[in-house]
Amino acid sequence: MIVLNGGSSSGKSGIARCLQAVLPDRWLAFGVDTLIQAMPMSMHASDEGIEIAADGEVVIGPEFRALEAAWIEGIAAMARAGARVIVDEVFLGGAASQQRWQKALDGLPVLWVGVRCEGAVAAAREVARGDRVTGMAQSQAAVVHQGVVYDVEVDTTHAESLECARAIAARAR
Amino acid sequence: MIVLNGGSSSGKSGIARCLQAVLPDRWLAFGVDTLIQAMPMSMHASDEGIEIAADGEVVIGPEFRALEAAWIEGIAAMARAGARVIVDEVFLGGAASQQRWQKALDGLPVLWVGVRCEGAVAAAREVARGDRVTGMAQSQAAVVHQGVVYDVEVDTTHAESLECARAIAARAR
Amino acid sequence: MIVLNGGSSSGKSGIARCLQAVLPDRWLAFGVDTLIQAMPMSMHASDEGIEIAADGEVVIGPEFRALEAAWIEGIAAMARAGARVIVDEVFLGGAASQQRWQKALDGLPVLWVGVRCEGAVAAAREVARGDRVTGMAQSQAAVVHQGVVYDVEVDTTHAESLECARAIAARAR
Amino acid sequence: MIVLNGGSSSGKSGIARCLQAVLPDRWLAFGVDTLIQAMPMSMHASDEGIEIAADGEVVIGPEFRALEAAWIEGIAAMARAGARVIVDEVFLGGAASQQRWQKALDGLPVLWVGVRCEGAVAAAREVARGDRVTGMAQSQAAVVHQGVVYDVEVDTTHAESLECARAIAARAR
């Protein structure tokens, strides 16, 4: 398994797609967005689920955490059943978020990847995307890496997704 | 768990969203489309992966089957970890497809739901959607139900998704 | 030109796609959604632009009206330049909205089509779509037709989009 | 009006969204993708309409050209009616494509912007996007600029969309 962690608009999804293109085997790619889309509409913008404030701050409620725990178990089971899986994640809780995944992935070979991007550049890309609440990129840029331990780190501030993916793939072998 | 099976454009995704709205608890909803999106681009339109012919016929290759098997194990693990899960599926192999799911879901409470829709009506809805290869709806309408055993069956030919969801929810209790 | 008017989730876009499939010539299809997507992000959810309240009520500001007026002139110019154009619209202002279009389309052959759908059924379809604020369908179902004059009316409550499109196409000849 | 011309995956749409964010007035943004979405499904992948070969080459048919001519007239009419409009375009025919727009926009103040991106970098971004046929970016990178005359040129190879947009906005004043 490969777990990519980085803030909003840091380029994780692009790197995941490039990894699927450059890695020799067929890899499945899932992200926290897959989980959010699977949740009922009533959990979007609710204090039980996930709420995105006007300034881009993301607040996670207890119901979200409960479903997320099952989701993580499911992803781990896919890997145990033989699938190669890339996960792109936003560790809003830093080290505590990583520990949730580490516990579930216990015994599986995992490559932990930090995807960094300077806050100002991520914020500029957020404007260019036009589909995210302004402020998420800047507010998450540093906090998601606090206390997290990586096998590889890439920085998309000045490097293309494909270059970053090649660096990660080299380590995955 | 609730497993919805029906042909393309029979209305499964709409029923899944309505189920999430009418059921008392929070349910996750995944579909075969979630899996296809998670696969590498190279598996779309490839004979190892999934190929959709000009007439709408869908051909599944061995690599697709291998990743799908891991996906099914993962969904089962989410349910075992306590999540309520709705799956919308297209049993191209009829009874054989159902058996793959039955084996993985062994021991879990599952409601098997057949989502029927007359081929001509599903084909008309395919035109209105405008995002599917013409012919998929008609060719799958009957074949996906061959030999499949259900707890409930709904028919979207003359009923709205929300009505169908209410009938399913009544049985889910 | 063909102008389709109906409330949210009444089935206008599906009918437009079916019209493109059944009409003998090549028709362009635009909708109010095309215009909204073309606007700056800052006009979404702003009192200068377009605001959708929690109960689904839509409030249109003066900047939106100014850009909309230019948009309507542009669509009229496409038709005058020889394109066949289908427009799907939501006449929130009823007769006043129709007059804005009538003025711009002066001298062009136009088929005015009312797309009706019972409020309760449109509201049920809104739940099944899962991408609209709940309440828009119900609140718009009747009001958009107030004082509007049509050449043809269709009702999607019990008829498929393709049937409605065939009825409209028969009148378009 | 601002007309952005560049190859596939050169970053035009991102620049257009950034321009909408940094320019003082409200600008509408349309692209060739808006036109393609407005066309009937039957024109996608047809030799009358638009066809994208397996290697990413794009072939445009006579019906596409006819509807495009009306589309260009319509955009010009929006600008004449007072709207500020950003267009993002792919001048597959180079200078000939620009002349089609110049003729329609005659008398209007237009800022012509070249959006360059090294072919290899655009091709890498195409992989990261994952929603374009591989090869379009590389094959269009140079050809779309042949014989085209600009007021400003930006290069996204090493600059962010927002920086490019600021440079364009400075010239637009």
pLDDT confidence of residue B145? 98
| Residue predicted with more confidence, D86 or D43 | D86
pLDDT in tens, chain B (173 residues): 999 999 999 999 999 999 999 999 999 999 999 999 999 988 887 778 888 888 888 888 899 999 999 999 999 999 999 999 999 999 999 999 999 999 999 999 999 999 999 999 999 999 999 888 889 999 999 999 999 999 999 999 999 999 999 999 999 98
pLDDT confidence of residue D43? 87
pLDDT confidence of residue B48? 81
The rounded distance, in Å, linking the Cα atoms of A136 and A132 is: 8
Retrieve residue B156's tokens: 């979207």
D18 touches chain A (CB under 8 A): yes
Which chain D residue has the Cα nearest residue A159?
Answer: D158
pLDDT tens-place string over residues B113-137 = 999 999 999 999 999 998 888 899 9
B20 touches chain A (CB under 8 A): yes
pLDDT confidence of residue A55? 86
pLDDT confidence of residue A171? 96
Instruction: Give the C-alpha distances (Å, rounded to integers) separating A114 from A98, A124, D94, D102.
Output: 11, 20, 42, 48
The rounded distance, in Å, linking the Cα atoms of D71 and A139 is: 41
Q: Do B161 and C21 touch (CB under 8 A)?
A: no
pLDDT tens-place string over residues C44-102 = 877 788 888 888 888 888 999 999 999 999 999 999 999 999 999 999 999 999 999 99
All residue ranges of chain A with pLDDT < 50 are none
**C33 belongs to the catalytic site:** yes
C166 touches chain B (CB under 8 A): no
A17 touches chain D (CB under 8 A): yes
- Select the residue from C127, C133, C134, C164 to test the B interface by mutation, using most B Cβ atoms within 10 A: C127
- Select the residue from B34, B73, B84, B105 to test the A interface by mutation, using most A Cβ atoms within 10 A: B73
A21 contacts in chain D (CB < 8 Å): 127
Kindly provide the residue ranges of all beta strands, DSSP E only, lying in chain A, ordered along the sequence. Answer: 2-5, 27-31, 50-52, 58-60, 84-89, 111-116, 152-155
Mean pLDDT computed over C151-169: 98
pLDDT exceeds 80 at position D46:
no
pLDDT confidence of residue D133? 84
Q: b/e per residue, A67-88, with b = 16+ CB within 10 A?
A: bbbbbbbbbbbbbbbebbbbbb
Share of chain D above pLDDT 70, in %: 100
pLDDT exceeds 80 at position D128:
yes
Which chain A residue has the Cα nearest residue B67?
Answer: A83
Q: Do D125 and A161 touch (CB under 8 A)?
A: yes
CB contacts < 8 A (C, D): 103
Q: Do D81 and C66 touch (CB under 8 A)?
A: no
A74 contacts in chain B (CB < 8 Å): 74-75, 77-78, 81, 83
pLDDT tens-place string over residues A103-123 = 999 999 999 999 999 999 999
Hey, what amino acid is at B3? V
Neighbours of C71 (CB within 10 A): 26
Mean pLDDT computed over C142-146: 96
**Catalytic residue (one of D33, D106, D131, D155):** D33
Mean pLDDT, chain D, rounded, equals 95
The rounded distance, in Å, linking the Cα atoms of A66 and C46 is: 35
pLDDT confidence of residue A111? 98
Length of chain A, in residues: 173
pLDDT exceeds 90 at position C18:
yes
Retrieve residue C69's tokens: 């007026």
Any idea of the CA torsion for A125, A131, A135, A136, to the nearest 10 degrees? -90
Task: Give the residue among D160, D155, D161, D127 at the shortest CA–CA distance from D142.
Answer: D155
C64: left (phi over 0), alpha (psi -120 to 50) or beta: alpha
Retrieve residue A61's tokens: 């409620």
Binned at pLDDT 50, 70 and 90, residue C43 comes out as: confident
pLDDT confidence of residue D45? 72
Q: Residue C154: helix, strand or coil by DSSP?
A: strand
Point out the residue among C41, C67, C74 whose CB comes nearest to the CB of D77: C74
A11 contacts in chain D (CB < 8 Å): 128
pLDDT exceeds 80 at position D68:
yes
Binned at pLDDT 50, 70 and 90, residue D51 comes out as: confident
A107: left (phi over 0), alpha (psi -120 to 50) or beta: left
Task: Give the residue among B29, B62, B73 at the shortest CA–CA distance from A79.
Answer: B73
pLDDT confidence of residue B81? 97
C69 touches chain D (CB under 8 A): yes
| Residue predicted with more confidence, B20 or D42 | B20
pLDDT exceeds 90 at position D131:
no
